[in-house]
Chain A
Amino acid sequence: MPPLPQTALDQITYVAVGYAGLVTLAALAVTVRRVPRPQVLDNGVWILEVLLAVRAVAGLGTMLNGDRPAEMSAHIGYLVASVCVLPIAMQSVADDRGPWSSGVVTVAALAVTVVAVRLQMTLR
């Protein structure tokens, strides 16, 4: 069982992980149903991106205040990945709303779910 959140940064990360998991499941459901990608899925992805950007800014602020992560280089790598993966994935399917484009969203959302978990693991 994961430890309880200790700080506001922990709380944002936990919310991001949970929401990213929901977006992953939603994208997977759309992919399995083989229907065109709905606009609501795009909206969900961009809300997740905003959440991850907030998490990244808060994380950077914490680091600038002198709270260094246990695995610094890995943590910064995950921090960059957490905000870059979704925009790149959405750009790659920007002019395609076919069923398989939701598969790309599924992969990207699953990736940021894992990245958000790893962010927390490399923090302390």
Chain B
Amino acid sequence: MTASKQRRSGAHQVLLALYALFVLAAGARAAVQLATDAGRAPVAYALSAVAAATYAAGWLAIRRASVGRTGFASVMLWVELAGVVTVGTLSLVERDWFPDASVWSDYGIGYGFVPAVLPVAGLLWLRSQRPPV
């Protein structure tokens, strides 16, 4: 049995489903907001588009990590976590920059804080993927 088949079933499937869902949710949200009312909150809407792109990259990173190639995921998940923390903090400190919420505003409160939990869950899963020393 190949490595990819051995790892086919596992927690990464749930992570992949969540990432795919957030690509859809963040991407559709950003597309609708930028297409219909881009001038209202350009920073927030652009950040939602950035979040969608990050989730797409995160999905790819976890898919690669599930077959043993963990390099991209070990960078991408930290980038995602940094994005959530930075945007979440900015949305609390600089309210004027966010007349409307972005996906990562208030650490993802609009999505039940899943955006804040997701990279942490991904990093914990990634840690469990490392072969024992």
Please give the residue numbers on chain A whose beta carbons come within 8 Å of chain B beta carbons, in ascending order. 73-74, 77, 81, 85, 88-89, 92-93, 96, 98-101, 103-104, 106-108, 111
In the complex the two chains form, what is the Cα distance from A95 to B21 in whole Å? 21
Chain B residues closer than 8 Å to A77, beta-carbon distance: 28, 32
Chain A residues closer than 8 Å to B36, beta-carbon distance: 73
In the complex the two chains form, what is the Cα distance from A17 to B11 in whole Å? 27
Contact with A along B1-39 (1 / 0, CB 8 A): 000000011110110111011001000100010011000
Interface of B is mostly: helix
Additional 18 contacts, C-beta under 8 A, given A100-B10, A101-B9, A103-B17: A73-B35, A74-B32, A77-B32, A85-B24, A88-B20, A89-B17, A92-B16, A93-B13, A96-B8, A98-B9, A98-B10, A99-B9, A100-B13, A104-B14, A104-B17, A107-B18, A107-B21, A108-B17
Interface of A is mostly: helix
Please give the residue numbers on chain B whose beta carbons come within 8 Å of chain A beta carbons, in ascending order. 8-11, 13-14, 16-18, 20-21, 24, 28, 32, 35-36
